[in-house]
Amino acid sequence: AQTVTQSQPEMSVQEAETVTLSCTYDTSESDYYLFWYKQPPSRQMILVIRQEAYKQQNATENRFSVNFQKAAKSFSLKISDSQLGDAAMYFCAYPNTGNQFYFGTGTSLTVIP
C-alpha cells in the first residue's frame, strides 16, 4: 500500500528565514510524481510544486524548492525568505498510476513577524 508520512504536525519560522518541511512516502513504482499543496485559512488547496521521479534535478518554483531523495523515498519542501502569506497547512501528495492521490497528514506552518 502506498502511504505518505509527514512527521511534523507544526512548524514555525521567522519572517525572511528558511524552513524545511519533511515528507516520506512508500511506493513500489519506479516512475511517479510527487506534489506539495498549500492550504491557507480559506481552505482552498493550491499546488505549490511538483517533482517527477525520473528527473534527478530538484524542482524549484521561485522561493519554493524540493529536496528529492528517491532512494530514501524522501521529498522535503524548502521555503526560502518566508513571508506572512506562507502561513498555511502544507500537504505532501503522491498519486499512484491509477491516479489515486495519497496525502500526508499535513504540517501547519506559522510565520512569525
Q: Which residues bind another protein (CB under 8 A)?
A: 6, 9, 32-33, 35, 42-45, 47, 50, 91, 93, 95, 97-106
Rounded to an integer, what distance in angstroms lies between the CA atom of residue 78 and that of residue 96? 24
Q: Specify the 3-state DSSP secondary structure of 16.
A: coil
Query: Shortest distance, CB of residue 104 to another protein, whole angstroms?
Result: 6
User: Least distance in Å: CB of 17 to another protein?
Assistant: 26
Least gap, CB of 105 to another protein (angstroms): 4
Task: Choose between 18 and 105: whose C-beta lies nearer to another protein.
Answer: 105
- Per the CB < 8 A criterion, the answer to whether 88 and 81 are in contact is no
How many angstroms separate the CA atoms of 42 and 27, rounded?
Answer: 32
Give the nearer residue to another protein in terms of CB position, either 16 or 46.
46
Which C-beta is closer to another protein: that of 80 or that of 101?
101
**Cell numbers at residue 59, please?**
524542482
Q: Which helix (H) or strand (E) holds 111?
A: strand 107-112
CB nearer another protein, residue 17 or residue 32: 32
CB of 25 to another protein, least distance (A): 13
The Cα 67–Cα 33 span in angstroms is 14
